[in-house]
Chain A
Amino acid sequence: MIDRYPPPAPVRRRFRDLRDRLFTLLVGACGIGVILAVLAIGVFLFVEVVPLFGGDTPASETQATTEIDFESLWLPQQYPDYETPRYRWQANVLSEDDTPMFSLTPLAWGTLKAAAYALLFAIPLALGAAIHSACFMSRRLRHRLKPALELMEALPGVVIGFVAGLVLAPYVERHLVGALALVLILPLGLLVAGVVHSCLPATLARALSLSRAGLWLIPWLALLVALAMVMSPYLEVVWFGGDMRAWLEQQLGLDYAMRNAMIVGLAMGFAIIPTIYALAEEALSGVPDSLSEGAQALGASRWQTLWNVILPAASPGIFSAVMIGAGRAVGETMIVLMATGNTALMTLSPLDGMRSMAANIAIELPEAAAGGTHYRVLLLCAFLLFVFTFCVNTLAEIVRGRLSHRYRRLGGLA
């Protein structure tokens, strides 16, 4: 063997050692700085919130803080103008005898409702895409798809919120039946495509291979969308007697708000799909080849391998992908702010709006006088969001760490 790298001269080596050590220190300092910054945010929020629950307010404070207990934040309260106790968020104060109403329950409800609808939309699509691209898609197509999804992730929330609130919401309101028809027709149409594909003669089936299903399905999907839109006026007459909104109101007692949970779910789902997809795809394609090859050698079909070997092996990774997606959905501000009416309602209906904690902070923090009760209640919201996302992300990271450990034990690359 030829020694192509002669040992470096002592002086150069010493210089290199010094440089290495310097950079290690620098990088270490940056890392510690980031961790300290995150902790400092948590501590700041905590310190600002403490006076709400009867801690000592600093003497220099110019704003009085009214003490608030757990009960008045989370349980229904009896307010002057109403007959029954209720959950209300109303921070605007007109005069001295006007009582602000700080009930966090509707805000927490709105936050979780928005996240739940977003996940409802995003999980099937993101996981389906991840499974398809990790297990079925050709390598070339996968390399094209990934940048496209990353681009989707780079879209700012304001843009998505704007499109959802000012373009999508009015459009869906005008074509409500079409939107409903899409939800029914698309999955059915895909099933039909699968059945037809399995009946195709061998030559045609080879031309339309499964690894490129993402491409040849596009015209078929476009056709289904067009069909749903063309059919929607007739469907409205047949199913809902000509006016779906009136039907909803009369038959189900539901009022359709233009900016509702459905729109938010769609918009925020769109925003968290790339996150869930990227993490789930990583977990799925990290499953050691020896496992799936072993299963197929024992006679399992592709589908059986997927369900019984790959998915169980990657399940912690998929779980952590969903958790991180949920964390992002809970903290997302601009989409919820712009795509809902910010109505602090507490209903489950997908046709009602909601007001989330993050959006509420964005709306009201600029008006809250620093140090006042309103300000501190808003920071309490921020603190709760911080704790929630901190826990969710930590949990997801722990699970992910276990996963890579498991893969290493099973003999994979990761």
Chain B
Amino acid sequence: MSIRCRTALLLWILLIWPVVGTMAQAPEGPVVGNLDSIGSDTMAGLMLRWGERLEERHPAVRLQMQASGSSTAPAALAEGTTRLGAMSRRMTTSERETFEAHHGYPPVEIPVAMDALAVFVNRHNPLDEVSMKQLDAIFSDTHDCGAKRSIDRWEALGTPDFAGPIDRHSRNSVSGSYGVFRREALCGGNFRVDVNEHPGSSAVVAAVAATTGGIGYSGIGYVTVAVKPLALRKGDGPAVSPSERATLSGEYPLSRTLYLYVNLPPGERLPATEHAFLDLVLSPEGQDGVRESGFIPLPDMVIAAIRQAMGLNRPWGEGSS
């Protein structure tokens, strides 16, 4: 875990503590109800898996979700359309401010899994690695990472046997992956106008699988055998493949955390359905689901800290001490 991640976690725990500390007493009973979630397409499969397990644990609870992109979550949370939002990136300051303007308090942020944003090419492409600067030169037209000129052909990346124009595929701007890629790989610059925008992660994978000269990115969970993930090189360092170890240590340049955001007024306890869901997500069973979906579980230590902070270690209904 990088230092930045750790400080973020610590800060977050400090933030959440007073909220949890003042939770009120509530009557006990079987958990019943619908749980609505709006947000990330990257996390759609993961949420679905969690939803199935939740129904196994609490047969009267249904998870209803809508997954069109991370940016739909802050808008829906602020409008009050949903109380639970899944995001594959952190909320931006302006999104937080919009939420606070509507509700008067900040949303609760819960990290639930780690993910590597894989950059991949068609499986017939001999290329194995690419540097972050080259990535910027391929996808951006502002070159904020300092590339001198655009890269338009595969030959320019040192693949003499594999010539031809580069066909770029990306997610649309609603996507958290889009935001993370823009911030980390393009240094906040702009995508070129001729980058294809797809409505879902699997659409990007399908498009790159169908185009010999294609390149695209998505969460590692969506990568199939038809595409080949590239190792990324940052500066003069070695090329790093998107492995679990490299992602957790932060060595892989495009690693990110997946979050759930909950609309929880300060001083109130999590409602029963949300409590049951988060209890599942942050349990060994829930983290198994993370691995099955192709993402990377959080380290046990981190899980324990979050559970403690959220008050998930006590069964729902027992008041705080």
A residues with CB within 8 A of B: 62-63, 81-82, 88, 90-96, 98, 106, 166, 169-170, 173, 245-246, 249, 255-259, 337-338, 341-345, 352-353, 355, 363-364, 366-370, 372
Bits for B151-171, please: 1 = Cβ < 8 Å to A, else 0. Answer: 000000000000011010100
Whether the Cβ atoms of A364 and B193 lie closer than 8 Å is no
* B241 interface hit (Cβ, 8 Å): no
Whether the Cβ atoms of A364 and B165 lie closer than 8 Å is no
Whether the Cβ atoms of B102 and A62 lie closer than 8 Å is yes
Query: What separation, in Å, do the CA atoms of A355 and B183 have in the docked complex?
Result: 23
Whether the Cβ atoms of A342 and B194 lie closer than 8 Å is no
* B142 interface hit (Cβ, 8 Å): yes
Query: What separation, in Å, do the CA atoms of A363 and B196 have in the docked complex?
Result: 13
Whether the Cβ atoms of A345 and B71 lie closer than 8 Å is no
Whether the Cβ atoms of A166 and B206 lie closer than 8 Å is yes
Contacts A342-B172, A343-B195, A363-B197 supplied; 18 other A-B pairs, CB < 8 Å = A62-B102, A88-B190, A91-B173, A92-B182, A93-B94, A94-B179, A96-B93, A257-B194, A258-B210, A342-B196, A342-B197, A352-B194, A363-B173, A366-B72, A366-B174, A367-B173, A369-B95, A369-B98
- Quote the shortest CB–CB distance from A259 to chain B (angstroms): 7
Q: Which residues of B contact A62 (CB under 8 A)?
A: 98, 101-102
Q: 15 A–B contact pairs at CB < 8 A? A: A62-B101, A63-B101, A88-B193, A90-B173, A91-B173, A95-B93, A169-B210, A258-B211, A337-B199, A341-B169, A341-B195, A341-B196, A343-B193, A343-B196, A370-B75
A366-B195 contact, Cβ under 8 Å, with A92-B182, A98-B188, A342-B172: no
Query: What separation, in Å, do the CA atoms of A63 and B69 have in the docked complex?
Result: 21
Q: Which residues of A contact B191 (CB under 8 A)?
A: 90
Query: What separation, in Å, do the CA atoms of A353 and B74 have in the docked complex?
Result: 30
Question: Which residues of chain B (197-253) have a CB below 8 Å from chain A?
Answer: 197-199, 206-207, 210-211
Whether the Cβ atoms of A92 and B98 lie closer than 8 Å is no
- Quote the shortest CB–CB distance from B102 to chain A (angstroms): 6
A81-B199 contact, Cβ under 8 Å, with A91-B173, A166-B206, A170-B210: no
Q: Among the interface residues B72, B142, B167, B197, which one has the most CB atoms of the partner chain A within 10 A?
A: B197
Considering the complex of A and B, which 8 residue pairs feature the smallest CB-CB distances, nearest first?
Answer: A341-B196, A367-B71, A170-B210, A92-B173, A81-B142, A342-B197, A366-B72, A62-B101
- Quote the shortest CB–CB distance from B229 to chain A (angstroms): 21
- Quote the shortest CB–CB distance from A89 to chain B (angstroms): 8
- Quote the shortest CB–CB distance from A168 to chain B (angstroms): 11
Query: What separation, in Å, do the CA atoms of A345 and B78 have in the docked complex?
Result: 33
Instruction: Name B210's closest neighbour in chain A (CB-CB).
Output: A170
Q: How many residues on B have C-beta within 8 angstroms of the other chain's C-beta atoms?
A: 44
Query: What separation, in Å, do the CA atoms of A337 and B198 have in the docked complex?
Result: 8
* B178 interface hit (Cβ, 8 Å): yes
Instruction: Please tell me which one of the listed residues B75, B79, B183 contacts residue A94 in the complex, with CB atoms under 8 A apart.
Output: B183
* B92 interface hit (Cβ, 8 Å): yes
- Quote the shortest CB–CB distance from A81 to chain B (angstroms): 4
Query: What separation, in Å, do the CA atoms of A314 and B92 have in the docked complex?
Result: 59
A367-B196 contact, Cβ under 8 Å, with A81-B190, A96-B94, A170-B211: no
Q: Which residues of B contact A366 (CB under 8 A)?
A: 68-69, 71-72, 75-76, 174
Instruction: Please tell me which one of the listed residues B69, B76, B79, B144 contacts residue A81 in the complex, with CB atoms under 8 A apart.
Output: B144
Whether the Cβ atoms of B194 and A343 lie closer than 8 Å is yes
Instruction: Please tell me which one of the listed residues B72, B94, B142, B188 contacts residue A82 in the complex, with CB atoms under 8 A apart.
Output: B142
Whether the Cβ atoms of A173 and B172 lie closer than 8 Å is no
Whether the Cβ atoms of B207 and A363 lie closer than 8 Å is no
* B189 interface hit (Cβ, 8 Å): yes
Q: Which residues of B contact A96 (CB under 8 A)?
A: 93-94
Query: What separation, in Å, do the CA atoms of A409 and B179 have in the docked complex?
Result: 64
- Quote the shortest CB–CB distance from B153 to chain A (angstroms): 10
Q: Which residues of A contact B74 (CB under 8 A)?
A: 369
A-B CB contacts (within 8 Å), total count = 113
Bits for B68-101, please: 1 = Cβ < 8 Å to A, else 0. Answer: 1101101110110000000000001111001001
A370-B172 contact, Cβ under 8 Å, with A63-B98, A249-B165: no
Instruction: Please tell me which one of the listed residues B101, B174, B197, B211 contacts residue A367 in the complex, with CB atoms under 8 A apart.
Output: B174
Whether the Cβ atoms of A92 and B75 lie closer than 8 Å is no
Q: Which residues of A contact B72 (CB under 8 A)?
A: 366-367
Instruction: Please tell me which one of the listed residues B69, B142, B189, B193 contacts residue A345 in the complex, with CB atoms under 8 A apart.
Output: B193
Q: Which residues of B contact A81 (CB under 8 A)?
A: 142, 144, 189-190
Whether the Cβ atoms of A363 and B98 lie closer than 8 Å is no
- Quote the shortest CB–CB distance from A174 to chain B (angstroms): 9
Instruction: Name B194's closest neighbour in chain A (CB-CB).
Output: A343
- Quote the shortest CB–CB distance from A333 to chain B (angstroms): 11
Whether the Cβ atoms of B173 and A364 lie closer than 8 Å is yes
Query: What separation, in Å, do the CA atoms of A173 and B165 have in the docked complex?
Result: 14
Query: What separation, in Å, do the CA atoms of A88 and B140 have in the docked complex?
Result: 13
Query: What separation, in Å, do the CA atoms of A22 and B65 have in the docked complex?
Result: 45
Q: Which residues of A contact B92 (CB under 8 A)?
A: 93-95
- Quote the shortest CB–CB distance from B181 to chain A (angstroms): 11
Query: What separation, in Å, do the CA atoms of A411 and B190 have in the docked complex?
Result: 65
Q: Among the interface residues B94, B95, B188, which one has the most CB atoms of the partner chain A within 10 A?
A: B94
Whether the Cβ atoms of B101 and A245 lie closer than 8 Å is no
Query: What separation, in Å, do the CA atoms of A259 and B98 have in the docked complex?
Result: 36
Q: Which residues of A contact B102 (CB under 8 A)?
A: 62
Q: Which residues of A contact B211 (CB under 8 A)?
A: 170, 173, 258
Instruction: Please tell me which one of the listed residues A88, A166, A246, A257 contacts residue B167 in the complex, with CB atoms under 8 A apart.
Output: A257
Whether the Cβ atoms of A259 and B101 lie closer than 8 Å is no
Whether the Cβ atoms of B195 and A369 lie closer than 8 Å is no
Instruction: Name B79's closest neighbour in chain A (CB-CB).
Output: A370
Q: Which residues of B contact A173 (CB under 8 A)?
A: 210-211
Q: Among the interface residues B165, B193, B199, which one has the most CB atoms of the partner chain A within 10 A?
A: B193
Q: Which residues of A contact B172 (CB under 8 A)?
A: 342, 363-364
Instruction: Please tell me which one of the listed residues B76, B79, B193, B198 contacts residue A344 in the complex, with CB atoms under 8 A apart.
Output: B193
Instruction: Name A366's closest neighbour in chain B (CB-CB).
Output: B72
Q: Which residues of B contact A352 (CB under 8 A)?
A: 194
Query: What separation, in Å, do the CA atoms of A156 and B198 have in the docked complex?
Result: 20
Whether the Cβ atoms of A367 and B69 lie closer than 8 Å is yes
Query: What separation, in Å, do the CA atoms of A344 and B190 have in the docked complex?
Result: 13
Q: Which residues of B contact A258 (CB under 8 A)?
A: 167, 196, 207, 210-211
Q: Which residues of A contact B169 (CB under 8 A)?
A: 341
- Quote the shortest CB–CB distance from A406 to chain B (angstroms): 47
Query: What separation, in Å, do the CA atoms of A95 and B90 have in the docked complex?
Result: 12
Query: What separation, in Å, do the CA atoms of A339 and B92 have in the docked complex?
Result: 31
- Quote the shortest CB–CB distance from B167 to chain A (angstroms): 7
- Quote the shortest CB–CB distance from B258 to chain A (angstroms): 18
- Quote the shortest CB–CB distance from B84 to chain A (angstroms): 16
- Quote the shortest CB–CB distance from B104 to chain A (angstroms): 11
